A = this chain, B = another copy of it.
Amino acid sequence: MSTTKFDRSVLEQMLTKRFFYAPSNSIYGGVAGFFDYGPPGTALQSNIISLWRQHFVLEEDMLEVDCSIITPEEVLKTSGHVAKFADWMVKDLKNGEIFRADHLVDGFFEAKLEGDRLAREAESGEAVATTTSTDKPPKKSKKKNVVVNIKLEDSVRAEYEEIRAKMDNYGGEELGEIIKKYNITSPEANNPLSAPKEFNLMFETAIGPSGQLKGYLRPETAQGQFVNFKKLLEFNNDKVPFASCHIGRSFRNEISPRSGLLRVREFMMAEIEHYLDPEDKSHPKFAEVRSRKLRFLSSATQLSGKTDLTELEIGQAVDSKLVDNETLGYFLVRIYLFLIKIGIKPDRLRFRQHMANEMAHYACDCWDAEILTSYGWIECVGCADRSAYDLTVHSQKTKEKLVVRKALAQPLVYQKTQLNINRKVFGSQFKKDAKIVEDHLNSLSEAQLDELSQQLQTSLTITASNGTNYELTKDMLSIERVEVREHVREFTPSVIEPSFGIGRILYALLEHSFWAREEDEQRGVLSFPVAIAPIKCLILPIANRAEFSPIINDIGRRLRKANLSSRVDDSAASIGKRYSRNDELGTPFGITVDQATLQDGTVTLRERDSTHQIRADLATIIGILVDLVSESTSWPQVTAKYPIISQPDAEE
């Protein structure tokens, strides 16, 4: 394949031309952060999802659910989203323009450092690599900061780099202080800025005709699964571990969406919530994946200011506690295998651990599958151990028990002090005060009861919560040590959550699949794996003539019967142009009908990446195609059996 440098604008142009996706409502000017998928984009997305279902839902017997997008405020108050799901924004005090504060501050220092780099380059007469303490993509704001070639003192440069490295840690107050300290103004307009203000990223709406009931578009699909936990557990015959999952749209009202499909306001996600015993995070299938090697970027490495990757077998990673537990490790491997299967390049994939301050306070461990794109390393799948946090808060709020009851192999046996009240005597003695005295006694600890038991030889005076004294006698109650046997343990399960951003994965895949033919840079190709290619087979007559129509229709019918998506290209363009056009759609195979077909019923089958063709009768070719798509044969196997023909219709 081509070795020419990747040029994002060339890919983007091609994706627009072939309508993989486009800004939504573009004839109305559109609104940033919304994209529509055209036919190839939709098919690609739907094939990725279908493979995801096969790889995760079917393979692991997950319980897939489909929940409402509109969520009442109370649910998202409990989950913490109403209070905390926010970014900091600043306003240009003159023109009112709004910026995301961390992106703006980062852009300011990025420009200073770039100016310094250029100045040093000019000074030394050679290129100097950018050195920053993280390799995160620059948090660019849409407006450009002017880069001026000014060399910085070494200490100043270090100071700026440190600020950038810590960007994810800053809250509104710190960002405000930095803006003040460095006199940061709005990019381009150079106006003074407001203090940072919190902006909640959820889209709000009102439910029902009264307008009084507040709802939000869900920011993730997780909560819909958690609130259904009890029903799901029941469906699973009350056993853990098990996983639920959800594929669907979520929404984030980004302050300034950018980077194409990477930061959008409406996006497709697929989330798994795997519920397990917090005391046993082993995984029955871990042995099957133990020796799989992954590339890790640990939090320790990052804290030391480095970004070196460590390649380790997942077994070693779990044994050494780099990865917290088997189940988390198992999912990292499953995520890896899924991404590779759809066509992500393994050498552009890594697992980055969250640093302590990046994680939610309740999380035990969290890893992101990051994919390298022209925008830098992009978080595409998160895999977090959320502990029992979500189920606990929903249970506390709703008083609904969200727990698992597990039969104990050995009953748990222990001694406990037990209070028995003789209600008859109690009632006749204390009358309407009986309840007050009883409540007082019930509130006592075991130690207090033991003490009471010793003191209560004949009678005893106690002071209840109402301040009144009551006299207790021996016949009113007994206090004894009893043996308790528990056969069931009740616990709130922990949750391990692999969460996939389908749009980001899809975009990364487009970059990884794209190349240009060496003989002609204009001829772009998208080398999707067959399983996820939007269209499996192109059908084209050598020329747009009536006598080819019945054959073309027949081929279409046969492919449909085999459940293969095809596309006829009978436009007037040259055969080479039509092949090219469908290489740009990533169509792996093409059947061409020509003059010989009319005579002997043979057609050619072309493979996208090699452009090689074979020739055989139609039935044979369809059979080969079915086998190729179901991956029961491969192109090299096919060409070993059927010779590659010289092409009568050159593609050039």
Contact = CB atoms under 8 A, between A and B. Distances in A.
Contact of A266 (B28, B32, B68, B234): B68
Nearest to A394: B27
A227 B28 contact: yes
Nearest to A234: B19
Q: How extensive is the interface on chain A, given as a class?
A: 35 or more
Contacts of A251: 69-70
A38 B235 contact: yes
A46 to B, nearest CB: 8
A56 B237 CA distance: 38
A205 B217 contact: yes
A67 interface: yes
Interface string A79-119: 00000000001000000101000000000000000000000
A22 interface: yes
A213 interface: yes
Contacts of A228: 22, 36, 38
Contacts of A26: 227
Given A37-B66, A66-B42, A67-B36, A563 B22 contact: no
A72 B31 CA distance: 8
A479 B237 CA distance: 89
A360 interface: no
A31 B266 contact: no
Given A25-B227, A205-B204, A228-B36, A565 B64 contact: no
B210 A98 contact: yes
Contacts of A370: none
Interface in A555-611: 556, 560, 563, 565, 567-569, 571
Interface in A31-49: 31-32, 34-39, 41-43, 45-46
A463 interface: no
Contact of A66 (B45, B61, B397): B45
A436 interface: no
A58 interface: yes
Given A207-B265, A228-B38, A571-B237, A215 B31 contact: yes
A261 B18 CA distance: 38
A69 B264 CA distance: 13
A429 interface: no
- 8 smallest CB-CB distances across A and B, nearest first, come from A24-B68, A37-B66, A36-B67, A39-B63, A34-B68, A27-B400, A27-B398, A42-B66
9 contacts: A19-B235, A24-B224, A27-B398, A38-B63, A43-B64, A68-B266, A70-B251, A98-B208, A207-B265
